[in-house]
Amino acid sequence: MTGRRRRALVAAVVVALALAAVVAGCGESTLTGRQLRAGATQACRLAQRRTARIRTPTMPAGGTAFLTQGITVMTPELVALHRLRAPGNLSGDYRAAMQTVADELARLNSTVRALRAGNDPVAAIETLQQQLAPIEARAADVWHALGLAVCQSP
């Protein structure tokens, strides 16, 4: 199997697992605000510990591996967060928070594809930073509204 086919297969499996987790979560009972915050805090702290282990590249060529490792951390975090069912009074903000995480993940995946296609690493990372800035600002607002500042990007 070629590297390109293997990466495509891995990406398809990740998406399928995320969708399966969302579908499997349907029908689960709604949590209280306290339960939602406890579950989300646990998922976010685990992702933060894993993210802290990722070394920042010293050379632009290390960007692909760095971002791929970030995707590897964020994907199960998003799955875990999707499993939580927010109570009605928090559901709008929680959906918005989930969307920001999904948007960040999509931008990371897009940048990895661009890097693998041979795009300039410095330009690709600069573009990613510009794309993430408004997403992270929205995320900060909704995580704060939910009382879950722990889930904000560092």
**Is residue 2 very low, low, confident or very high in pLDDT (cuts 50, 70, 90)?**
low
Residue 154's Cβ-side half-sphere holds a number of Cα atoms within 13 Å equal to 9
| Mean pLDDT, range 122-127, rounded to an integer | 94
Give tens-digit pLDDT for 34-87: 999 999 999 999 999 999 999 999 998 899 999 999 999 999 999 999 999 999
Mean pLDDT of the chain: 85
**Segments forming the whole domain that contains residue 36:** 3-151
As a whole number of angstroms, the distance between CA 45 and CA 51 comes to 10
What's the pLDDT at 7?
Answer: 53
Which of 97, 76, 83 shows the shortest CA–CA distance to 21?
A: 83
What's the pLDDT score for residue 84? 95
Q: Is the pLDDT of residue 22 over 80?
A: no
User: What secondary structure does DSSP assign to 16-36, as a single string?
Assistant: HHHHHHHHHHTTPPPPPHHHH
Q: What local confidence, expressed as pLDDT, does residue 117 receive?
A: 95
- For residues 154 and 151, give the distance between their C-alpha atoms in angstroms, rounded to a whole number: 9
Rounded mean pLDDT, 8-32: 53
**Exposed, middle or buried: residue 134 (CB in 10 Å: 0-12, 13-18, 19+)?**
exposed
**What pTM does this model have?**
0.78
Tally of domains within the chain: 1
Q: What's the confidence (pLDDT) of residue 23? A: 42
pLDDT value, residue 153: 76
Residue 60 Cα to chain centre, angstroms: 22
DSSP of 70-118, one letter per residue?
A: HHHHHHHHHHHHHHS---HHHHHHHHHHHHHHHHHHHHHHHHHHHHHTT
Write the CATH number for 88: 1.20.1420
pLDDT score, position 4: 56
